[in-house]
Amino acid sequence: MRKKIMKVAFVAVFAAVAGYGVYMNQRTEAMSDLMLANVEALASGESDYNSKVWERYYRPEGDGYNCTKTGNETC
């Protein structure tokens, strides 16, 4: 009688563990709208790659140039 109870208990524990494993594998986590918006914002970047970086203004004296952050060159 005791062996039969142990077998039934073992089968019940095994079925519970297997069922929990199946449940955990089928469960999906949906992204919230806020999280999805954040991921899209990070993926899109902060500016256009064709935007200007520096604008060079050459000095009238001919001894170099000044730069401002609105141009399309490196400075």
In this structure, is residue 31 part of a structural domain?
Answer: no
In this structure, is residue 64 part of a structural domain?
Answer: no
In this structure, is residue 35 part of a structural domain?
Answer: no
DSSP H or E stretch at residue 11: helix 2-26
Q: What is the structure's pLDDT at 55?
A: 76
| CA dihedral of residues 63, 69, 74, 75 (deg, nearest 10) | 30
CB 45 within 8 A of CB 62: no
Q: What is the structure's pLDDT at 74?
A: 63
Q: What is the structure's pLDDT at 54?
A: 73
In this structure, is residue 2 part of a structural domain?
Answer: yes
Tens place of pLDDT per residue across the chain (75 aa): 888 999 999 999 999 999 999 998 887 777 788 888 888 878 766 655 555 567 777 888 878 777 777 666 666
For residue 2, the enclosing domain spans: 1-26
Alpha-carbon distances of 65 from 12, 31, 45, 53, rounded to whole Å: 82, 51, 31, 15
Q: What is the structure's pLDDT at 6?
A: 93
DSSP label at residue 14: H
Q: What is the structure's pLDDT at 63?
A: 81
In this structure, is residue 7 part of a structural domain?
Answer: yes
In this structure, is residue 10 part of a structural domain?
Answer: yes
In this structure, is residue 6 part of a structural domain?
Answer: yes
**Number of folded domains that form the chain:** 1
